[in-house]
Structure formats: structure tokens, C-alpha cells
Structure 1
Amino acid sequence: MTERSPLIYLRGYAGPPSGVDKQVDDPFYGLNSGATHIRVDGDGAPCFYQFEGPLLRLMIDEDYELLVRGDQHAYLEAQDDGTIPAESVWVFRFYDYAASTFGTSVAAAPETFDLERAAERLYDFVQLVRRKTGAVKVHLVAHSMGGLVARCMIQKVSHTADPSSGTPRVPGAELVDKFFTYGTPHGGISFDVGGGLVDWAMETFGPAGSEMFAPARMYTYLTPGASDGEEPPAGWQPQHIPDSAFDAKRVFCLVGTNAADYGLVEKAVGPRSDGLVHIDNAYVHQAHRAYVHRSHSGRYGLVNSEEGYQNLRRFLFGKYQVRVDLCHLALRWRPGAAETVWQAEARLSVRGLPVLLHEQTAAHYCPIQLNQEAVQHADADGQVAPVPLATAFLLDPERARARSENQSPNRSRYTLGLRVFHLVERSGRFFWEDHLEQVADWEDTLIVDVGHPDQAPDSGLQAWAAWNSEVAGEVDRVDPIRSDPCSLTAEDGELHTDIALPEPACPLLGAESCLRLTVSRVS
């Protein structure tokens, strides 16, 4: 097993002082909460499914320890350096300083919450965890605003000298290995409607909260040297992490798409959100991300979900990374004055799991807009570069042993279901006369096995791939999914192969269109 890193969890925004006092009563800030519902069953109603919560599940699946002993921070400080297991989970309780329920045992008086001060304390806490565990780096796992506290530490605080001593701090990229966020408003929080609902939402956040997610304030706490009141320069984007601060490829953003389960604030934010954070604001540019039909928080929320945990576990501890891109896209343009809008839907599943790990659909307000992707990824000559569809992280098959005699312990399997369909616009409105609702122009599922042949389990990494339409009989009885592995080409530490689309897709997406499968070991 490769060297492990300690995990540090950060919770989201707690609201005004009364909300802070309520949240600090929970020993783990709510990050231990589980759930007993899968959102929808075959009849359209929630059904029983017992999820232990991410903290307990990590102890079960990955042998991590949650060390508390009355006061997790005090216990950590009291141990000798290098004596605590790296496989440990820590909850950064940054709100304790703003609570009024602890007397003077935490702070002489409750503080007004300040995000940058919380980020400075996070830096100190990360250093403490590293020293006591002997770990080189930590993993940060954050819900909602906690992700902005982490980004402030990584992008600004760690690049600023300690004000008390003048000593330069260690850059965040040298402290943090991987960074996972649940529903973090990386692009801020905005509202679709005005009036009383916005007033209600601002009252719920409190004046500090409403200002905290505005671009100008985000620029202040995400940029070294920036001071309060300073306007961001033209073109500055809060969702961009500079390469000099942290590699965005070591970030994973879980994006919620279920606004309906969050409550009244959804009416102000709009349906294209998790109920609080817009879908387009919930990720970092160039980072890995997955879309799941969960709300911002609560019993149907991201943190309380099997979908969230399985994405987290695989990103942190996966052995293989498999990326799928759509190459040589050349959309078919229908004749006439009408504009054809092409969209795709993608669903990613992994063998052995009861949930989808990624789901981009029109019904959830997040289909892949192929027209926009074609323009966005086109070069100066109009040639379309590969369009990213999905990235899967797969566990070592030895650590996720097959449960069926039909499945090999030497391979991991995942599938990517694709649907492509078109809509017709005239004068800015959809034109329905020729429309067939829910009928895709093309759909199929790519099945991918990654690992080693049973006859040579110690050989080099290989991949097998086939379209579901090509497989006769039950898919789970065919392993690997085809007899011959893909011919993989090595390039820049990765292996890739092009998989031709089934013939019915070619008139829609281009005669030379294909999926590029890229496989690599996780570093």
C-alpha cells in the first residue's frame, strides 16, 4: 500500500451567531452524519438505504482512525512528534472561536467569524497534524464555505509571512496532497430573483455571509497581497487556481444538481443549482468534477450521500485514473433557418456500487452542451480539440475484491452511458413540431475494464473496452468485456487509445469522431 496522508475535514457556513452556537455542539460539526434514504427508487419514492456517514465509512473501508479523547486538538498537541498514525481523521473546528457556549475555555470572548483568520488557523493546524503524524502532506476535505477557507490557506495565507515572527510560511502545494470539495461556491453565490426571497436569504446568511461570497471579497482572500476594498483586475476569475499556488488536477469538486430538496432558499437561487450554489459556480477550472443529483446539505445532501463518499474515496485512494474525451467532434448542422442545439447526457457507474458516480442530464439542468463545447475547444483553424466527458478513479482491485465468481479480482470495471439528442430553435424559442420527447438520436454505453490479464497479473497495465450494443447476453458475465485488450499508446506518463463510435453516432458527431480513453496510475 502506498504512503497514506492524514485527512482534515472542514464544514461549511454556519450562518449568524445563533447558527454557530448550534453547530459547535456537534463534536464533528455534522460531518459524521449519515443517512437512511436513497433519493428515489423505481417507483419514484425514497427508499431505505443505510449510509454510515463519511467519517465512519473511512474507518471501515480505509482503516483510518478518528482520535478525539475529549479534545481532538488538545490530544494532538500532547502527543510526541511522529507518533500518531498518518491514517487519521481530524475535524478543523474553526467556528469554536466564534461560539458563545464555551465560556473562556476556547476564547476570552466570542469572535466575529473572519474567513482569513480561520485560514491562518488552518495553516497552523495542518502544520501541527504533519508534525505529530510525520506525514509529508495532508488531504483537505471541505463542504461548502469550508472549501473557500482551504483555498484561502493554500492560495494566500501560505504565501504570506507569519505576521508575529516575519517567518515565511510553507507554500500550500507543499502541505496539501489532494483537495476535495462538496458543493463549494468556488464562483461565489448568486440569486436568480429579487424581492423578499433575496432579503430572506441575506438575513439567513447574515451581512458577513452575503458579502463573503461576492467576487470582490473573494479576490481579497484568495490573492496574496490583496487588501480589503481592493477591486479585482479585469478578467480575474474566482474559480481559477493559479498553477503557482496549486495543481488544479489535484482538486476534485462534487457538484450537486438537486435544488428541490434544499428548501426555501432554492426559490431565490434557482433550479439550476444544489439549492444554494449554482452548478456553474461549484467547481474549480481544470479540476476533476462529478455531478450528482443531491442537494447542498441535509439528509438528501452531498455530504450525507453514498455518491459523495464513493467519489471522495476513489479520488483520495484510487489506483487508476481513466479519462474519456470526445475527439474529432464535427456536429451535423440541419439545413434551414432553424438553429440545431446538440446536447449529450453522461452517466458514470462503477461495478459493485448502488449509485451513479456522475450524472449529467437535461432533467437535472446540466447536459453537456455540444455546440458550446465545439466552440470552446476549437483552435484558430476551427478544429475541435478533445471535449472532456468524464473522469473515473478506480480502486486497486485487490482492495475492492469482486463479490461474484463472474468477476476477476485483477480488474476494475466502470461504464459511461451516453445519449445524444438535438433540439431545434427558431427566433430564440424551441420548435417542437418535429420533436419526439425523450427519444435520443443515439445512445449506448461504453464498458471499460482496467487492470491485468488473469494469466499475467503482474504484467503491465491494460484496458479492455466495448460498447454495450456489441455484447451479447448479460454484461456482468463477460469479464474482461472483450477478448482482446485495447492497443494502448504511451505518452507523457499516460496510456491512451481511440475507440470508434458505433456507426449510428457518426452522422451526428462526425465521420471521424471517437472516444479517447486515457489510463494512468494515480501518483
Structure 2
Amino acid sequence: MKNNPHHPYHPIIYVRGFAATQSEIEAAVADPYMGFNIGSTKTRLAWTGQVKRFHFESPLVRLMGEHGYRDVFVDGNDLVAGDFADQPIPYQSIIVYRYYDEASNDFGSGETPPIEHFARGLNKLILRLQDKVCANKRNNVSPEDFRVHLVAHSMGGLVCRAFLQNKGLGTEKARAAVDKLFTYATPHNGIDMRIVRNVPGWLSFGDANNFNRERMANYLDLPKGDDVSIVKHFPPERVFNLIGTNSRDYSVLRGASSWAAGDASDGLVRIENATTHGPGADGRDVTSPRAFVHRSHSGHYGIVNSEEGYQNLTRFLFGKLRIDGILDIDNITFPAELDKYHEENRAVRASYQIESAVSVRKYPWQITRREIRENSAIFRTYDQLFPGQPGTKRPPDRSMSPHLFSVFLDPEKSCKASKSVSLLCDLKLLTPDYEVDGVLFLKRHYEGGVIYQRQILVEAIPDTNAAGGWRIKYGDQENNPGKATLVAESRPLGDGDPASGLVFSIPIQQKSRPGLHGALRVEVRPWS
């Protein structure tokens, strides 16, 4: 890929989600873009105080208008699917994988093939696209340097993972061409329901058993078990999970799906099932980057046709810098009375809710958000953060440090003056529920009370004299709005090479009781 002049603007293949009934299949194949062209018109509060309309044109229209992408439909023909040697295909193309055509009464047999068949079809589509794109001499790209981005909704993400992970469903040549995978609301660890828990394997209606974990383990080439969210044969850090947290606006089956999935879901996929992880280059488990947005699985408030979704998509595909925030908690102090009980080795239990939201400069929305009222806050117990026996020294367990955000930024769209990129992290640690000897401790308790709240501004400034080429400054929004004035301490990330990334530490020291002590660990990596 060193000789690819287009990087990172590679062809994009969209892979749609699940269609349960024949009518849904026919509706999908009747649309050239299979729904990815659907936008939304909603309202938002303007600076004037008036409620105004906000128009989101759709991800496809925005990619074409802002990033120079083109579709492959000319004179009513699909240039990739058909044999049109005289029609060159531009490199920055958008292709819709129309895998449901075979299941249509209009275009196919009316019988839905298994998901393994769809994965093999994706393999063929990538190779066909590679041949056609590289045949266009204007693209100036060899087959070895050709790359493609996969963007998938719901079950489409499982089709992509089956192709990438199961070597029996694709070729090394096609897999090597995939640069990144972005998934919207994909049930990476299956679909769970209130009554029967995981979708049963015998439920063959509409191929719903595609979301049964035993069935998934088979086509994802994983050992049978409770976790099928493991990515293998592909870097897990190059898979992005966009997770919906709005269950109430998912109206499928007149709200029955939303009820069955529960509140902590997008109306179909539970938050806990919408993420991936897998072995990194050094063999250690790596969590895939992710963002949480208050959108439902589909529909007018759907996750695909949202501004938040589009911003995460384009930043992941085309951004140059990745910034992660991890809250390292050294200590959470108890109120004085509880401290006494704790020292007496009485059974004191506490649970904490951590809210986080991230905004980026100049954009009027949050790129990721986790809140209690949206059932997406991070939950930790005191014993998880500090394992051990009462009355003993209990050092923090860093494996339980809450991962707050993964944000991708583009220095080319930075502040003109400083050439910096920045974000604002709104962090809250909410008052927990305490128990003493199994009884709720409610003295001086106010529901919704906050132990710690802080809006931290993080700014990355290019600096050729600094290690890794970047300096990090930070500041508090309440003290100096919009400005970062304090320099964070840094050290190399991972193998010790500053060029591979840097770690910055922003201290948190709170004197009041109860209080939070630790640091916001900010990891900055070059992204390509």
C-alpha cells in the first residue's frame, strides 16, 4: 500500500443487515442502495432558542458530496456486477453488496442462502472489484496496493466477520485487501431476549438462528462458548463498533422487539453484545475501538442515518490520529461513617456509575455518550476496582479501569492557527448505592448525586521537537473555557518507540470525602 496514492480513501463496500420476511427482502432489493441512502429530518434547539429542523442527507450522499465518492451505477447498469469493460470504475467508489438478490422472487429463487454463502459472495465481490478498479489505468493502483473499506449494518457485520475469520469462506488475497471494518449495531455476541435469553438454534424463521451463539461459532470459526465476539485473522483495532443506546424508538413488531431486548439496547441488540475484541500483534487481548450514540437499531431514529454515525464512520476511515481515554482509579474514598465500618471489617459494598461524553471542536453534537438515563453508563463495584479481603491493602485492578472513549481526529481539519486537534471529555462519577452487612446505607443519600464531575479539554499539538511529534495540553472547561494551558506528562506507548504512540497522564486528586483519586490516561496513536 506504500504506492497507493489514494490512501486512505479506498473503495467502500456497504453490507446491509437482516431481512426476516420475504416482503422485507423484496423491499430491500427494490432499492439500489438497500437503505443506505436513507437520511433523516429531525429537530434541534438552535442558538436563538428556536427549535429548528436538522437535515441529515444519508451517509452515501455525504460521502459523495464531502469526500468525492461515486456510485457504480451508470445508465441503469451496475458496473461491478455486470461485464462492462468499456466503463472504467473510479477508485473512490461506493459499492452495495446486494446479497439478498438471490433470495428475492424477482431476481433469484426466493430461497434465502445461509450466511456462509453470503460471506463467500463478499469474497468474490472484493476480488471482482479489485480487478475492475486496477484495470482502470487512471487509478494508478496495482492489485498489491488495492484496499477496500467494509461498512456494515447489523447482520452485515457478521457476514463481514465470517468472511474475514473463517478461512473456508474466503481467500487470503481478498482478506488482505480489507483495510478497515466499520459496524453499525452488529450483534457481535449474538442476540439475547428477556424470556429465552440467546436466540435458540431451532428458531429457523427468517434465519433468525444466525444470531444463536452456537451457530455463530460455527460460521465465525470459533470454539463453542458464551463469547463469539472474538475477532481473529484480522486486527481487532481495525474494527470499529458503533453501539446504539436508544431502545424506545425501535418500533419493529409494534415495540415487542424493544421490550424483549430490554432497556440497555438499541431495541434489538444489547449494548453488552455489540462489541468485539481479539488477540493483537503481541498476542494480548485488544478491545476494538467503539462509540456509543443515543440511536435505535433502525428506523427514523436509526443509527445508520445519523450525524453521529457519519462522523464516527468518516473519522475512523480517514482520520490521522487516534485518541483513547482510560480512567485509572487509584482510590475512591468512602464517607467517614462508612470508612469506620470498612476498617472494622464489616461487609461494606459499593457500586458506581461512570458517565462520559466526548465532543469535538466545531461540531454541535457528542461523538460518543454513555449516561445513566440512557442505560449506557459504565458500571463498576468497589470489589471489582479493588479486589481483595476487607481490612487488607487492596491495590487497584488496572484491568478494570473504565475505557471512556476512542476518538479519531484529522489534523488536516485542525485549528488553522495551532494546527492542533482537540476534544472535550465530560466525566462524572455518580454517588453509589452503599450496603453495610447487607442493608442499604441511605444516610445523606440523594439519588443522582455526584461524587466527581469534570469537563476536561484535551488538545494535541504537532511539535517536531517533542517525542512522537505531538504535545498534549489539557485544561478545565469551568476554569478557562475552550483553552488548554497545562502540559501533560508523557511516556512512550507499548514497545517504547514514541513514533508508535504516547501516553499522557492527567491527574485527578479530590480532597473531599467521598472522593476520587487517580488519573485520566490519554493514549495517542498515529492512525492510517
Q: TM class, shorter-chain normalised?
A: 0.7 to 0.9
Query: What residue is the counterpart of 2:433 in the other structure?
Result: 424
User: Do the aligned residues in 1 keep the contact of 2:79 with 2:89 (CA within 8 Å)?
Assistant: no
- Does the alignment pair 1:12 with 2:17? yes
Cα deviation for residue 179 of structure 1 reads 0.6
Secondary structure at the counterpart of residue 504 of structure 2: strand
Distance between the aligned counterparts of 1:388 and 1:276, measured in 2?
A: 25
Cα separation, partners in 2 of 1:17 and 1:129, compared to 1, 3 Å: same
Distance between the aligned counterparts of 1:372 and 1:210, measured in 2?
A: 39
Distance between the aligned counterparts of 2:383 and 2:184, measured in 1?
A: 25
Query: What residue is the counterpart of 1:331 in the other structure?
Result: 332
Distance between the aligned counterparts of 1:269 and 1:429, measured in 2?
A: 31
Distance between the aligned counterparts of 2:364 and 2:83, measured in 1?
A: 40
Structure 1 segment 56-455 matched on structure 2, within 5 A: 56-69=61-74, 70-74=76-80, 77-79=83-85, 84-102=89-107, 107=108, 109-134=109-134, 136-156=146-166, 159-160=167-168, 169-170=171-172, 173-193=175-195, 207-223=205-221, 232-233=223-224, 235=225, 237-242=227-232, 245-263=233-251, 264=255, 265-285=257-277, 286-333=287-334, 334-335=338-339, 336=341, 337-371=347-381, 374-375=384-385, 383-385=396-398, 387-398=401-412, 400=413, 402=415, 408=417, 410-426=419-435, 432-452=442-462
Distance between the aligned counterparts of 1:275 and 1:52, measured in 2?
A: 24
Cα separation, partners in 2 of 1:290 and 1:222, compared to 1, 3 Å: same
Distance between the aligned counterparts of 2:454 and 2:39, measured in 1?
A: 34
Cα separation, partners in 2 of 1:188 and 1:115, compared to 1, 3 Å: same
Distance between the aligned counterparts of 1:43 and 1:360, measured in 2?
A: 28
Cα separation, partners in 2 of 1:74 and 1:173, compared to 1, 3 Å: closer
**Structure 1 residues not aligned, in runs of 5+:** 163-168, 225-231
Cα deviation for residue 68 of structure 1 reads 1.1
Query: What residue is the counterpart of 1:227 in the other structure?
Result: none
Distance between the aligned counterparts of 1:45 and 1:329, measured in 2?
A: 45
Secondary structure at the counterpart of residue 148 of structure 1: helix
Distance between the aligned counterparts of 1:262 and 1:372, measured in 2?
A: 34
User: Do the aligned residues in 2 keep the contact of 1:76 with 1:132 (CA within 8 Å)?
Assistant: no
Cα separation, partners in 2 of 1:507 and 1:154, compared to 1, 3 Å: same
Q: Which amino acid aligns with 1:385?
A: R
User: Do the aligned residues in 2 keep the contact of 1:154 with 1:246 (CA within 8 Å)?
Assistant: yes
Distance between the aligned counterparts of 1:5 and 1:377, measured in 2?
A: 47
Distance between the aligned counterparts of 1:220 and 1:214, measured in 2?
A: 10
Cα deviation for residue 517 of structure 1 reads 1.4
Q: Which amino acid aligns with 1:423?
A: P
Secondary structure at the counterpart of residue 304 of structure 1: coil
Q: Which amino acid aligns with 2:212?
A: A
- In the TM superposition, what whole-angstrom CA distance separates every residue of 1:391-440 from its partner, at most 9, and x where no partner exists? 34343333x255xxxx6361111111100123224487865453223321
User: Do the aligned residues in 1 keep the contact of 2:72 with 2:80 (CA within 8 Å)?
Assistant: no
Distance between the aligned counterparts of 2:439 and 2:298, measured in 1?
A: 35
User: Do the aligned residues in 2 keep the contact of 1:141 with 1:181 (CA within 8 Å)?
Assistant: yes
Cα separation, partners in 2 of 1:487 and 1:381, compared to 1, 3 Å: closer
User: Do the aligned residues in 2 keep the contact of 1:346 with 1:389 (CA within 8 Å)?
Assistant: no
Q: Which amino acid aligns with 2:14?
A: Y
Query: What residue is the counterpart of 2:139 in the other structure?
Result: none
Secondary structure at the counterpart of residue 488 of structure 1: strand
Cα separation, partners in 2 of 1:3 and 1:443, compared to 1, 3 Å: closer
Q: Which amino acid aligns with 1:239?
A: S
Cα separation, partners in 2 of 1:401 and 1:287, compared to 1, 3 Å: closer
Cα deviation for residue 50 of structure 1 reads 0.4
Distance between the aligned counterparts of 2:503 and 2:10, measured in 1?
A: 29
Distance between the aligned counterparts of 1:87 and 1:114, measured in 2?
A: 31
Cα separation, partners in 2 of 1:392 and 1:419, compared to 1, 3 Å: same
Cα deviation for residue 382 of structure 1 reads 5.0
User: Do the aligned residues in 2 keep the contact of 1:119 with 1:153 (CA within 8 Å)?
Assistant: yes
Distance between the aligned counterparts of 2:212 and 2:406, measured in 1?
A: 32
Cα deviation for residue 64 of structure 1 reads 1.5
Instruction: Give TM-score scaled by structure 1 length.
Output: 0.82
Cα deviation for residue 325 of structure 1 reads 1.5
Instruction: Give TM-score scaled by structure 2 length.
Output: 0.81
User: Do the aligned residues in 2 keep the contact of 1:325 with 1:389 (CA within 8 Å)?
Assistant: yes
User: Do the aligned residues in 2 keep the contact of 1:343 with 1:367 (CA within 8 Å)?
Assistant: yes
Cα deviation for residue 113 of structure 1 reads 3.2
- Does the alignment pair 1:496 with 2:486? no
Distance between the aligned counterparts of 2:184 and 2:82, measured in 1?
A: 26
Cα deviation for residue 22 of structure 1 reads 1.4
Cα deviation for residue 34 of structure 1 reads 0.6
Distance between the aligned counterparts of 1:171 and 1:67, measured in 2?
A: 23
Cα separation, partners in 2 of 1:341 and 1:395, compared to 1, 3 Å: closer
Distance between the aligned counterparts of 1:340 and 1:208, measured in 2?
A: 44
User: Do the aligned residues in 1 keep the contact of 2:20 with 2:205 (CA within 8 Å)?
Assistant: no
Cα deviation for residue 489 of structure 1 reads 2.2
Distance between the aligned counterparts of 1:236 and 1:137, measured in 2?
A: 33
Q: Which range moves more in the overlay, 301-310 or 500-509?
A: 500-509
Higher share in strand = 2
User: Do the aligned residues in 2 keep the contact of 1:68 with 1:75 (CA within 8 Å)?
Assistant: no
Q: Which amino acid aligns with 1:237?
A: D
Identity of aligned residues (%): 32
Secondary structure at the counterpart of residue 330 of structure 1: strand
Q: Which amino acid aligns with 2:190?
A: G
Cα separation, partners in 2 of 1:279 and 1:92, compared to 1, 3 Å: same
- In the TM superposition, what whole-angstrom CA distance separates every residue of 1:256-311 from its partner, at most 9, and x where no partner exists? 01000002121121111100011101111211111111100011010011111101
Cα deviation for residue 128 of structure 1 reads 1.4
- Does the alignment pair 1:514 with 2:522? no
- In the TM superposition, what whole-angstrom CA distance separates every residue of 1:70-121 from its partner, at most 9, and x where no partner exists? 232556642479x53321111100001101123xxxx4x3332321111100
Distance between the aligned counterparts of 2:249 and 2:404, measured in 1?
A: 26
Q: Which amino acid aligns with 1:218?
A: M
Q: Which range moves more in the overlay, 123-132 or 433-442?
A: 433-442
Cα deviation for residue 446 of structure 1 reads 1.0
**Structure 2 residues not aligned, in runs of 5+:** 1-5, 135-144, 278-286, 342-346
Query: What residue is the counterpart of 1:228 in the other structure?
Result: none
User: Do the aligned residues in 2 keep the contact of 1:318 with 1:393 (CA within 8 Å)?
Assistant: no
Cα deviation for residue 504 of structure 1 reads 4.7
Distance between the aligned counterparts of 1:99 and 1:347, measured in 2?
A: 43
User: Do the aligned residues in 1 keep the contact of 2:350 with 2:382 (CA within 8 Å)?
Assistant: no
Cα separation, partners in 2 of 1:456 and 1:332, compared to 1, 3 Å: closer
In angstroms, what is the RMSD of aligned CA positions? 3.4
Distance between the aligned counterparts of 2:28 and 2:20, measured in 1?
A: 10
